Amino acid sequence: MFSTRITKLLGIRHPVICGCMQWLTRAELVAAVAEAGGLGIIPAATFDSIDELKQEIRKTRQLTSKPFAVNVTLIPMGRPFSHAEMLMAAIDEGVPVIETAARDPQDYVDMIKASGAVYLHKCARVRDVVKAAKLGADMVTVVGFECGGHPGRQDVSTMVKVARAVNAVDIPIAAGGGISDGRGLVAALSLGAEAVVMGTRFFAVRECPAHDDIKAALVSADEASTGLVLTTLEPVRALRNQVLDRVGELENKGASIAEMYPLVSGRRGLKAYMSGHADDALIPCGQGVGLIDDIPTVAELMDRIMSDAGMAIERVEAMVSVPNQRG
Ligand SMILES: Cc1cc2nc3c(=O)[nH]c(=O)nc-3n(C[C@H](O)[C@H](O)[C@H](O)COP(=O)(O)O)c2cc1C
């Protein structure tokens, strides 16, 4: 239905990327997204060893012959191996698309480009989009303040950031942050983006390994159910719960990261995802959670996104007034 520079570059049917989610975008979910015509992304930081990462890449390959990506988020992830080692593992395994995210990717661009993989950087500021384009990224994802996970330090919305990014560079842009349905897809394409990245929406799908109670918490949340914490360090948008409130209180008192770490650690998040206790950890989640009413399969969700996008276009077309011959 849509053909863009990004669908061609990535070899995907629909301009829909399922954003990587630590612990959650495992082989089953990534392969389901690939089979449904989008791009799924394995976050390298999910794994305790390079060997486990390689096993996951191989498992994904067994589940789909379609393209998928590996993400290396360039912030300290408390892993016993380096970002370069994670990238090298993806390159060694011949992963067709590699994504870096968050910080300056300069030190890694040459090795990724030399591998022949499509190279994508994800960032939250227009100036970082420009830098990634100059470094040689094939495409850039820019996320707005609404997004789940790391929205960066500027409180600038997706609507403005995407339009600015499209104006600033010639390479194709994928838009993320608050996009959870086909209307959001059409809005992003209208701004000049050539694909969307959805994280929060794919959190609440059947193939996501999180406990059903976590998914139920997403369904009952609305657009005002998220908040920002760690604003002085690396801001995180997450579901409002006791842990988010407590971290906010500690931050206001000027607590150190060491004091907050037990509350915000990734392992605590993993435990909550698996036990279903949505109040026990920071649960990254974007404002687009307000648009989630059910827990479909990935294939059902993708069909719905595309049919809603078609209806959104028809709705807009019907609003276009054609001046008659007499003016
Ligand atoms: C639960 C969750 C975990 C995430 N983990 C990561 C991560 O490890 N690395 C990363 O670059 N982005 C991560 N993200 C961000 C997503 O990849 C994506 O950029 C974002 O969710 C898009 O905005 P949306 O949530 O409004 O759809 C995460 C998002 C969520 C909701």
Q: Is the confidence at residue 232, as pLDDT, over 90? A: no
b/e code 103-127 from CB counts within 10 Å (16+ = b): eebeebbeebbebebbbbbbbbbbe
In the reported structure, the alpha carbon of residue 16 is separated from the centroid of ligand 1 by a whole-number distance in angstroms of 14
The reply to whether ligand 1 has any atom less than 6 angstroms from the CB of 284 is: yes
pTM of this prediction? 0.97
Residue whose CA lies nearest to ligand 1 atom number 1: 284
The two structure tokens encoding residue 104 = 């300056």
221 occurs within a structural domain: no
In the reported structure, the alpha carbon of residue 217 is separated from the centroid of ligand 1 by a whole-number distance in angstroms of 17
DSSP structure string for 23-88? TTS-HHHHHHHHHTTSEEEEEGGG-SSHHHHHHHHHHHHHH-SS--EEEEE-S----SS-HHHHHH
Q: Is the confidence at residue 92, as pLDDT, over 80? A: yes
Can you give the CATH number for the domain in which 52 is found? 3.20.20.70
Of 172, 214, 223, the C-alpha closest to 193 is 172
Rounded to whole angstroms, the Cα distance separating 29 from 31 reads 5
Rounded to whole angstroms, the Cα distance separating 38 from 68 reads 9
Q: Is the confidence at residue 327, as pLDDT, over 60? A: no
46 occurs within a structural domain: yes
The two structure tokens encoding residue 124 = 């939250």
- For residue 326, what pLDDT is reported? 58
- For residue 79, what pLDDT is reported? 81
- Rounded (to 5) percent helix, strand, coil in the chain: 45, 15, 40
Residue whose CA lies nearest to ligand 1 atom number 20: 199
Element holding 312 (H helix, E strand): helix 298-319
Contact criterion met (CB below 8 Å) for 207 and 32: yes
The two structure tokens encoding residue 189 = 């394409």
Count of C-beta atoms within a 10 Å radius of residue 239: 24
CA distances in angstroms from 126 to 85, 163, 168, 188, 234, listed in the order given: 28, 10, 8, 16, 17
In the reported structure, the alpha carbon of residue 19 is separated from the centroid of ligand 1 by a whole-number distance in angstroms of 6
307 occurs within a structural domain: no
Q: Are strands 173-176 and 118-123 parallel, antiparallel or unpaired?
A: unpaired
310 occurs within a structural domain: no
For 263-305, the pLDDT digits (tens) are 999 999 999 999 999 999 999 999 999 999 999 999 999 999 9
258 occurs within a structural domain: no
305 occurs within a structural domain: no
Domain boundaries, position 38: 5-203
Q: Which of 24, 73, 200, 239 maximizes ligand 1 atoms within 8 Å of its Cβ, making it the mutation to test the pocket? A: 200
Rounded to whole angstroms, the Cα distance separating 144 from 206 reads 26
In 3-state terms, what secondary structure has residue 193? Answer: coil
CA 287-291-293 angle, to 5 degrees, is 130
The two structure tokens encoding residue 15 = 């301009």
Report how many domains make up the chain: 1
In the reported structure, the alpha carbon of residue 21 is separated from the centroid of ligand 1 by a whole-number distance in angstroms of 5
In the reported structure, the alpha carbon of residue 20 is separated from the centroid of ligand 1 by a whole-number distance in angstroms of 6
Confidence band, pLDDT 50/70/90 cuts, at residue 82:
very high
Percent of the chain with pLDDT over 70: 98
Q: Which of 17, 18, 20, 268 maximizes ligand 1 atoms within 8 Å of its Cβ, making it the mutation to test the pocket? A: 20
The two structure tokens encoding residue 60 = 């994904």
- For residue 76, what pLDDT is reported? 82
Of 222, 198, 212, 228, the C-alpha closest to 309 is 198
Contact criterion met (CB below 8 Å) for 42 and 30: yes
Rounded to whole angstroms, the Cα distance separating 235 from 287 reads 15
The DSSP letter of residue 288 is G
For 93-132, the pLDDT digits (tens) are 999 999 999 999 999 999 999 999 999 999 999 999 999 9
In the reported structure, the alpha carbon of residue 326 is separated from the centroid of ligand 1 by a whole-number distance in angstroms of 53
For 198-231, the pLDDT digits (tens) are 999 999 999 999 999 999 999 999 999 999 999 9
List strand residue ranges (DSSP E) for 110-222, in order. 118-123, 139-143, 173-176, 195-198
For 49-58, the pLDDT digits (tens) are 999 999 999 9
For 142-189, the pLDDT digits (tens) are 999 999 999 999 999 999 999 999 999 999 999 999 999 999 999 999
284 occurs within a structural domain: no
- For residue 121, what pLDDT is reported? 98
234 occurs within a structural domain: no
For 316-325, the pLDDT digits (tens) are 999 998 776 5
